[in-house]
Amino acid sequence: MKTNPAIDQMKRGEFLRSLGLSSAALMSFYCLGTTMTACSKSSDPAPATTSTNSTGLTGNADSSKGPVDFTLDLTHADFKSLKTVGGYANVGDIVVANSKGNNIVAIGRICTHQGGNLEYQLADDVFRCNIHQSLYGTDGKVKPNQEATKDVKQYKTILSADGNKLQVKA
Ligand code: FES
């Protein structure tokens, strides 16, 4: 039998209210019962990675669309992890990390072997491919004896005096 989702949801809300649940608890039920994406934004912690449509980003972070030159707002939820040693963020086809020694670095994030994603590893101060684990230095140079044999590009990073803006460019 075909049902009207709005009516179903209303009935569910009335039912839950009859149980004496709070608005927050009701919202949780709605989130579970409908699409998770519609409700996940406000309750989930900021993701470790982000896309190029974030409001904390201005400029070009996609090397296929021209020279890379972008600025990140490090007070923005998507990028504030970069203020902490070991934090990193994917921005377009670049990965930016606050590496050991509180030195912010940026390199191409696509592994030159078969296109894996490079993730920063604070313990060894390297980027590791998430597919076959090739290791790259913070300068983008691939370490010896890895599946990957070619380096990724290293980008310049310029941190503002107040530490809240980071420019990354070729
Ligand atoms: S894709 Fe990165 S090592 Fe294979």
- Tens of pLDDT, residue by residue over 131-161, are 999 999 999 999 999 999 999 999 999 999 9
Cα 167 to the chain's mean position, in Å? 17
Nearest atom in ligand 1 to the alpha carbon of residue 146 is 3
Q: Judge whether residue 54 has pLDDT over 60.
A: no
Q: Contact 129/113 with Cβ under 8 angstroms?
A: yes
Of 73, 71, 74, give the one whose Cα is nearest residue 59: 71
- Write out pLDDT tens, residues 98-125: 999 889 999 999 999 999 999 999 999 9
pLDDT band at 55 (very low <50, low <70, confident <90, very high): confident
Query: What average pLDDT is seen over the chain?
Result: 79
Residues 6+ apart with CB under 8 A from 15: none
> 79: buried, middle or exposed (CB in 10 Å: 19+, 13-18, 0-12)?
buried
Amino acid identity, position 52: T
- CATH for the 57-169 domain, from 1.10.10.10, 2.102.10.10, 3.90.600.10, 3.40.50.150: 2.102.10.10
Cα(148) to centroid(ligand 1), Å = 6
Domain boundaries, the chain: 5-43, 57-169
Cα(58) to centroid(ligand 1), Å = 30
